[in-house]
Structure 1
């Protein structure tokens, strides 16, 4: 009888061990499943445009070329008014909202109100473009300044052309110091992982030889 009881006890102990192993495997499998479900579908890796010399980057590192290109692209798009600034400016802000910080978007919307009140938008056509010889490649150390691990100052030297009813009313060359922040929040709406935080300082007027100001 004692021998039979010992055999049963051993079987029970073995069954309990197997049950514990199954529970442990289930917990590990659940952890793996959670990690798989919460992992991002896409991972943005910034690669410099010129790969002739090769490049080694940490996945989270954003090269200055990418920061400069982003700042120039967003600011040009905001200031492209092909038909009527009274409509185009506000539409651009809404269209680019995922590439702007909340504070910058509010600042730009306030700028729309002020310009409308001053009559600086209706029937205005506007475009800005990079000054020749003053792009990133000409002075990369100055064009993009690392402010912190997650923020940069981008200095854009741009020409602004503005027309009112097809008549030129403004042509000016200025330096626009923009602040760009890491903003890897919604890859679907913002694949760049960056956001424009408007100006990092005062806009400076530039005197360019041979350029006439209106």
Structure 2
């Protein structure tokens, strides 16, 4: 028996009603998912804001063979490179030590501990009073054949290292060479928690751990002034 028009309309209405209910259910589900995602985004945003914005990573010198990367964990080769760079900066007087010594000390102040800064300022004043810096030029270079080795850096613990670096000092006064000598410097390096904007390394020199030593058989000219730095604290 054929269905009457009213029965057909009733059946169609039921199907539409069921479909609408399904759509409402899906929409509510999607709304719940969106609300949940919004909450997750808020939590992640809050964590991102609270997280440290600058992370200091020390990369291995040679990445071809891979290597573990640790945050805020300098390796001995990083300590050696840092000490070498800052010490060379402090000992570069291209024009006149009377002016250059103070300039490089100011330039490197964020890479020196307060105690080391005080020692160097006292040394600067004492040398200036004795007239030892007038017209004196100084530069230091790596000693040929003396490069980084595992034994070059001693780990003392508690974020303290001693980097032993061999440098050749060359000095001139009024254009005349007065000093060319090779010296091993035991430079004390410490972790230094300051703003990465002024010191991205997070390290500082703490002057010397022990007296520097001349490398036997390396002196090629007359000794003159001792190198800068006194003993570290």
Scaled by the length of structure 2, the TM-score of the pair is 0.73
Q: Distance in 2 between matches of 1:32 and 1:127?
A: 51
The secondary structure found in structure 1 opposite 2:177 is strand
1:146 aligns with 2:155: yes
The secondary structure found in structure 2 opposite 1:80 is coil
Q: Distance in 1 between matches of 2:109 and 2:198?
A: 9
- Gaps spanning 5+ residues in structure 2: where? 1-38, 223-233
The secondary structure found in structure 2 opposite 1:51 is coil
Q: Distance in 1 between matches of 2:176 and 2:110?
A: 34
Structure 1 position 37, deviation (Å): 3.8
Structure 1 counterpart of 2:204, from 170, 180, 195: 195
- Paired position in structure 1 for 2:19: none
Q: Distance in 1 between matches of 2:60 and 2:72?
A: 14
Output the aligned Cα RMSD.
Answer: 1.9
The secondary structure found in structure 1 opposite 2:126 is helix
- Paired position in structure 2 for 1:156: 165
CA deviation string 1:6-60 (max 9, x = no partner): xxxxxxxxxxxxxxxxxxxx9xx79973x54443221110012111221113213
1:182 aligns with 2:194: no
- Paired position in structure 2 for 1:5: none
Q: Report the count of equivalent residues.
A: 182
Q: Distance in 1 between matches of 2:174 and 2:60?
A: 41
The secondary structure found in structure 1 opposite 2:166 is strand
The secondary structure found in structure 2 opposite 1:148 is coil
Alignment of 1:67-146 (within 5 A): 67-136=79-148, 140-146=149-155
- Paired position in structure 1 for 2:35: none
- Paired position in structure 1 for 2:65: 53
Q: Distance in 2 between matches of 1:179 and 1:148?
A: 12
CA deviation string 1:93-122 (max 9, x = no partner): 111111111111111111101211222111
Q: Distance in 2 between matches of 1:172 and 1:115?
A: 20
- Paired position in structure 1 for 2:221: 213
Q: Distance in 2 between matches of 1:131 and 1:208?
A: 12
